[in-house]
Structures are given as structure tokens and as C-alpha cells.
Chain A
């Protein structure tokens, strides 16, 4: 089974420039997550999609970050304009299901991430 694919793996941009990241989840996974991981910290959820609808974007800095999942499959995360503090690894994850009654939630499968450096 193919895992979660992300591209590019590395990106270096100057502040105020724009950047976009792409994620292709595991086939059949309805739920897709974008996390931001700053060096030395655990990942932090930015946005969660269920199919092509947004479930949670409470931690997404909406003045500069945007994300879409138009056909309910792959997704893009964009930053415009980038700031120095956006330097981080951006992780995409997917899972089969979310919130099915009182049962355990589906485990999340993570991609390798995109390392962004803003200079």
C-alpha cells in the first residue's frame, strides 16, 4: 500500500514570497490533516478535511495560510506571504475515518513532510 505522498521535500524562500505544498493521501482515506512542526516541538494541527469539507481550521493563520481539497483527494497548503516564523516542517496525514460513535478513531498515517526555510 502506498503511503502519504508530499512534495516538495525541501523549499527555501525569502520572506514575503509565496509557497505551496502538495499532499496525496492514502487511497480511500476520507480525512486529511495538515500539521506544522517547528524545530524541537511536536506537530501542531493547522487544518483538517473530511472529504472536501473543512472540519477544523481553528489553528490556521487565515491571514496568510490557505488550504484546499477540491475533489476530496489530494490537497494543497499555501502560505502567502511567508514570514520568518513559518520556517518549519509541514506534515500531511490521512486517516480512514473520524468519530465513529464511541469506538477508537482511525490511526493517522503521516507523510515525510516538507521542510520550509524562510530567509
Chain B
């Protein structure tokens, strides 16, 4: 699976949009981009995933560049409860894949009042 690079930490003001970048320059054509987050003392939580089109759900939006070498997770109106470590993961899809997630260090997002 391709490696991802994320900033170690970011701050965001409450109510503003949080934009979390991720670089995955070695991503392959059959690899999806997944985002999980981990709130303190909890297990990771799935947020969103995409292949090449932009995706949106009730939690966030995922913007993937045309060359697929980077992506941005957008939390449109960050709240204090969004303070967490955010993990960007690229993951192969296919019948031969085991489905395991390879977590990096992630980005610690601190939402401030």
C-alpha cells in the first residue's frame, strides 16, 4: 500500500472549516483514499473514502486532485468535538486484498473556541 504524508498538527477555530491535507504521491490506480479519526481514548472512526471523484457525506467532504497524488479532508463547520487525530490511508480494493488498514502518525487537529 502507498505511503501517505500528513502534517503533524493543525489548529482550527470553532465554526470554521477545517482543511486537512494528505499527500499520497505513489498511489496506484486501484487504491482508494480513506480517512479515519480517533478521538482521545476511543477507537478510530471511519469518516469517508474515495477513488478519484470528490465525495461528501454527513460528516465531511473529500477532495482528491485530478492526478490523485493528494487529497484534502474538509470538515465544513468544525466543533470542539472534532478535536482528534485524523488518519489518511490509501488502501487497495480487490479480491486479493486483506482489507487491512495501515495507519501512519496522522494529523492532530485541535479545534479552539
**A61 to B103 Cα, complex, angstroms:** 19
**A111 to B45 Cα, complex, angstroms:** 9
**A64 contacts the other chain (Cβ, under 8 Å)?**
no
With A4-B43, A91-B43, A112-B42 in contact, do A105 and B99 touch (Cβ < 8 Å)? Answer: yes
Q: Are B43 and A98 in contact (CB under 8 A)?
A: no
Q: Are A42 and B104 in contact (CB under 8 A)?
A: yes
Mostly, the B contact residues are: loop
**A70 to B99 Cα, complex, angstroms:** 21
- How many positions in chain B have a CB within 8 Å of any CB in the partner chain? 27
**B94 contacts the other chain (Cβ, under 8 Å)?**
yes
Instruction: Report which A residues bind B (CB closer than 8 A).
Output: 4, 31, 33, 41-45, 48, 55-56, 91, 93, 95, 98-113
- 6 shortest interchain CB distances as A-B pairs: A42-B103, A110-B43, A98-B99, A107-B46, A56-B98, A45-B100
Instruction: Report which B residues bind A (CB closer than 8 A).
Output: 30, 32, 41-46, 49, 51, 85, 87, 91, 93-106
